[in-house]
Amino acid sequence: MLIIDRTPCHGYEIRRRLQPLLGDIEITRLYRILKQMEEEGLIVCSETEGPHGPSRRVYSKGEKGERYLRRLLRDSMRTIFHFYEAFSDHMLERSMQDTVREELHPCSGKILVCNLSPYVSVGDSTLNLIRERAGESGLYVVGDTLLWEQSGVKCGSVKGEPWDLSVRSNSFAEYWLLGTPPRAMLPGTICEAKRVLIEDGVFHLNAGLVFLNEVVDAGLESFIKNTAVMLFPELGVVDGEEICEILGSQFSKHGTVVLSPGLVQFWAMKHSE
């Protein structure tokens, strides 16, 4: 598909370009594959006159070909991000022990936590830090509490979604959101975070796969950002500038801490004017 996507090709040309990858593939086998792709609507075949007489079959991208390539791109990026998250989590262990603990002030109240990240697991350094900070004040979890119970942590349960929490206003000293909600729900989520915090309460948003600074050139980083954020929002890649703007509309005091490559903690303090 990648060969045909660049320019229409006849069978022998496709075979020549495939040789470095697949070796000397039989032309009859290749034509069977091309025929199947044609039946699936991925490619179309037309006949043109050859340079020395007989007509040749020329293959080009079909109606479903573009969707197929986009799906391949999405799945490839998802695989890369999966391993990047694992690398980031490994680097995070050191950051949680040093950078984050140094930045945090003592907590004197209940803590609310909501986990939206598929990469948080039992024994995670972030969970350990939150457990330490909750102490005897009380820890409350939005949704399923199984992860915390498996970690040996006693906690209460809060119903709802990050953008619609079933809890009273001014209830928590800290609110930790691990992972990001769907992009359309970001404003409501941050507004809800402000509502449930007490005066001088702090909101922590740990977001992986973040582009914190605007990418201005037309290089690979710009391509990854624009493709992942705009074309495949389901991959969970975050435009950090957008989060900062929303935080600024709700909180007068806010900032960021880079925890590890690609993992950023956004924070904001509730302070009445």
The DSSP call for residue 120 is -
* Torsion over CA: 164, 169, 171, 172 (sign): positive
- Percent of the chain predicted with pLDDT > 90: 34
pTM: 0.73
pLDDT given at position 149 = 85
CATH of the structural domain 2-63, one choice from 1.10.10.10, 1.20.120.80, 1.10.10.520, 1.20.58.480: 1.10.10.10
Quick one: 45 exposed, middle or buried, by C-beta within 10 A (0-12, 13-18, 19+)? middle
Rg, C-alpha atoms of the chain: 26
Q: Identify how many contiguous H helices and E strands the chain contains and give both numbers.
A: 10, 14
**Closest Cα to residue 10, out of 42, 71, 58, 51?**
58
Tens digit of pLDDT for each residue in 109-134? 899 999 987 767 776 778 888 888 88
Taking every pair of Cα atoms in the chain, the longest distance, rounded to a whole number of angstroms, is 87
**Rounded to the nearest 5°, which phi and psi values hold at 164?**
-155, 80
Whole-Å CA distances, 49 to 11, 12, 14, 55, 56: 14, 15, 17, 4, 6
Between CA 153 and CA 140 the distance in angstroms is 10
Under 8 Å between Cβ of 125 and 93: yes
User: Which residue ranges make up each domain of the chain?
Assistant: 2-63, 86-269
- Sheet containing strand 53-61, strands side by side: 9-10, 53-61, 43-50
Between CA 139 and CA 149 the distance in angstroms is 12
Mean pLDDT of 167-190: 92
Tens digit of pLDDT for each residue in 199-246? 999 999 988 777 766 655 667 777 877 787 777 877 777 778 889 999
CATH of the structural domain 86-269, one choice from 1.10.10.10, 3.40.50.1370, 3.40.50.150, 3.10.310.30: 3.40.50.150
pLDDT given at position 128 = 81
Q: pLDDT grade, residue 94 (50/70/90)?
A: low
pLDDT given at position 90 = 62
User: Tokens 């500038």 — which residue?
Assistant: 241
